[in-house]
Amino acid sequence: MPERIFIVLNKLELLLTKARIKLSQQQKQQLIAYVDMLNKWNKTYNLTSVRDPEQMLVRHIMDSIIVSPYLQGYRFIDVGTGPGLPGIPLAIVRPDSHFTLLDSLGKRVRFLRQVQHELSLANIEPVQSRVEEYLSGPPFDGVISRAFASLQDMVSWCNHLSKPIHGRFYALKGVLPEEELTMLPSGISVDSVIQLDVPELEGQRHLVILKSN
């Protein structure tokens, strides 16, 4: 194992222990391989502003998988996924769930397809499309976004993607957007707000879960 990979793996082990998250050796190796690919492609395609692989573990991997226990259902769509966040880390730690990864930029979707191929991820589907133009098959159990838009925009742009009754919107936020919570469109209410504790990550993190009334 190359030394840089060994260092990153040790860091991941430490972070998972702090977060009390247990993963298989294969899942850990897939997460490390994803970070390695993201680091390599980033030098050419500028997929993320985070340049250090160890910081990617904190700010991308842990910040994504920390929400896994709160997701309900099987089929999810990650809108504005960028380089696959949080969709790819979640797909790795939830192999029995399926994630559609939606982004409008071709270079990002090409990266996602390469990740899908190299990591043999059968439970993701990269799609290039604007969210308001994307027409899926059956509605999704959950619509996920990470730093994608305001809650109002998320609901208005993605409402056609969610199951009418049991569907949920999962918005990964930093500081709790209290003003946005007071301006939700009619027919949408707050299911729950969870304060997240991401090891070694500075600043606040919240998961806002919305539902249709």
Q: Please compute, for residue 116, the number of CA atoms within 13 A of its CA located in the half-sphere on the CB side.
A: 19
C-alpha–C-alpha distance, residues 18 and 61, integer Å: 14
101 is in an annotated binding site: no
> Beta-strand (E) ranges in the chain?
75-79, 98-103, 124-128, 142-146, 168-173, 188-195, 206-212
Q: Is 205 annotated as a binding residue?
A: no
Taking alpha carbons only, the member of 91, 93, 78 closest to residue 16 is: 93
Tokens representing residue 105 in the block:
């930029």
Return all residues near 193 (Cβ < 8 A) that are at least 6 apart.
176, 181, 206, 207, 208, 209
131 is in an annotated binding site: yes
Q: 178: exposed, middle or buried (C-beta count within 10 Å: 0-12, 13-18, 19+)? A: exposed
Of 191, 194, 189, the closest CA to residue 204 belongs to: 194
Assess contact for 86 and 63: CB atoms under 8 A.
Answer: yes
Q: Is 93 annotated as belonging to a binding site?
A: no
Record the tokens describing residue 106, joined without a space: 């071709």
**Does the annotation list 178 as a binding residue?**
no
Contact between 190 and 204 (Cβ < 8 Å): no
Binding residues: 80, 85, 131-132, 146
- Binding site, annotated residues for S-adenosyl-L-methionine: 80, 85, 131-132, 146
